[in-house]
Structure formats: C-alpha cells, structure tokens
Chains A and B, each alone.
Chain A
Amino acid sequence: EIVLTQSPGTLSLSPGERATLSCWASQSVSSRYLAWYQQKPGQAPRLLIYGASSRATGIPDRFSGSGSGTDFTLTISRLEPEDFAVYYCQQYGSSLWTFGQGTKVEIK
C-alpha cells in the first residue's frame, strides 16, 4: 500500500500570502492518479486538482498542482479568506485509494 505523507501539518498564513503544500508518496505514483481536495468544517470534501495538475470544474486559477513520481505540490498563489481549510492529497493504484493525513491552512 502506498502511504502519502503531507507537510506541514499546519500552515499559518495571512490572506494574500502564498501557500505551498507538499505530499510525498512512499513509492512512485502515476501523476494521472494524484488528486487534491479541500475540506471545510462540517462539509464534504471538494475536488480541487486531478491528474496532479488539472483544476476541477469551477476551481479558481489561484490553485495549482504540480509534481511527479513521489513528490507533489499544491500551491495557492494568494490566499483568500475562503481558502482557510484542510487540504488532502489522494492517490489511486492497484484498485485502492489512499489519502494523506491532511494539511490545515489557518489564519495567522
């Protein structure tokens, strides 16, 4: 089973700042099967990025994804008040899905 490790656990930033979230895989992951989700308290997760770098429908272009192999990144270019939330990376392989443990982006 592929284990995803996200870093940092918590990111304290101010609105307008750039956020860089990392996701490392225990073994190589197909970029096609790497996704990022945003979750706000009391809500279901929302797909942000699929295929490592493609934005899902309706996702603002301040969100971008990059990476390959075992090292992936989610970047939020300028944080808006609504972006403070928990973010999860996810991979698919061998008919199984796994999530990272999440990164909380909080207001500094």
Chain B
Amino acid sequence: EVQLLQSGGALGQPGGSLRLSCAASEFTFSSYAMSWVRQAPGKGLEWVSGISGSGDSTYYADSVKGRFTISRDNSKNTLYLQMNSLRAEDTAVYYCAKVGGGYKSFDNWGQGTLVTVSS
C-alpha cells in the first residue's frame, strides 16, 4: 500500500522560512511526478507545486512562484517544499500527493501538515 508520511511545518513568522517533507514508500518513487496541495482553514483545495519524477521539471502556482521551491531526493524517496518569504495567507494544511501516471490525477495523499504563519 502506497504511503506518504509528511513532516515539518508548524509555526513560521511572516517573511520567514519553513521546509516540509514527504517520505514515500511502497511504490517506485522516481517513476512518478509529485505535487503539493494546500487548504486554508475552512476553504477549498489549492494546487501549489509539482515536480517530475526525475526532478528535472518543476511547476508552481502564481501565488507561490518565486517564494516556494519544490524538490525531491529519489535516493531517499522524499519530496520537499521549501517555503520562503512566508505570508499570513500561506497559512494552510499542506498535503503531498502522488500523481497517478498518464491521467495526472492525485491518486494518493499524505496525511497533511498544518503550517501557520503568524508573528
């Protein structure tokens, strides 16, 4: 069974930085694109960033472009999201998700981690 175990996050200050991690198991990690999706309190889902299986290609929503960096270490089966220049509006539960092959849907999700940006 595919597992995505998230860590990191918690409390960050405006203008500060945080890093999220997502450890994958029970599938060939390097063969699949991955993404980050967030959900602000009481709001809907927002796609944040995506990365190809090799890590060569990365994609970002306009709301985080230039501030967040997605990366992966295929030797460690781990996905990362480096979050810089944090804003209050970045407060959300962040989910990592596995992109399910050619249909580009998110077929497995991490448990989510709450990021709160506040002074």
Is A45 touching B109 in the complex (CB atoms < 8 A)?
Answer: yes
Count contacts on B: residues with CB < 8 A to the other chain: 23
Count the A-B residue pairs with Cβ separation under 8 angstroms: how many?
Answer: 67
Q: Does A25 contact B (CB under 8 A)?
A: no
| Given known A45-B95, A50-B100, contact A99–B107 (CB-CB < 8 A) | no
Report A19-72 residues with CB < 8 Å from chain B CB: 32-33, 35, 37, 39, 44-47, 50-51, 54, 56-57
For A37, the chain B residues whose CB sits under 8 A away are 45, 106
Interchain CA distance A46-B47 in the complex, whole Å: 15
For A73, the chain B residues whose CB sits under 8 A away are none
Interchain CA distance A68-B108 in the complex, whole Å: 25
Is A88 touching B45 in the complex (CB atoms < 8 A)?
Answer: yes
Is B105 touching A47 in the complex (CB atoms < 8 A)?
Answer: yes
For B41, the chain A residues whose CB sits under 8 A away are none
Q: Does B71 contact A (CB under 8 A)?
A: no
Is A98 touching B50 in the complex (CB atoms < 8 A)?
Answer: no
For A96, the chain B residues whose CB sits under 8 A away are 47, 59, 61
For A32, the chain B residues whose CB sits under 8 A away are 102-104
Is B59 touching A95 in the complex (CB atoms < 8 A)?
Answer: yes
Q: Does B35 contact A (CB under 8 A)?
A: yes
Is A44 touching B47 in the complex (CB atoms < 8 A)?
Answer: no
Is B44 touching A99 in the complex (CB atoms < 8 A)?
Answer: yes
The minimal Cβ–Cβ distance linking A62 to chain B, given in whole angstroms, is 20
| Given known A97-B35, A98-B47, A99-B47, contact A46–B109 (CB-CB < 8 A) | yes
Q: Does B46 contact A (CB under 8 A)?
A: yes
For A47, the chain B residues whose CB sits under 8 A away are 100, 105-108
List, sorted by A's number, 16 A–B pairs whose CB atoms are closer than 8 Å: A35-B106, A37-B45, A44-B111, A45-B109, A47-B106, A54-B103, A56-B107, A88-B44, A90-B45, A90-B105, A92-B104, A95-B57, A96-B47, A96-B61, A97-B35, A102-B45
B contact set with A: CB distance below 8 Å: 35, 37, 44-47, 50, 57, 59, 61, 95, 100, 102-112
A contact set with B: CB distance below 8 Å: 32-33, 35, 37, 39, 44-47, 50-51, 54, 56-57, 88, 90, 92, 95-102
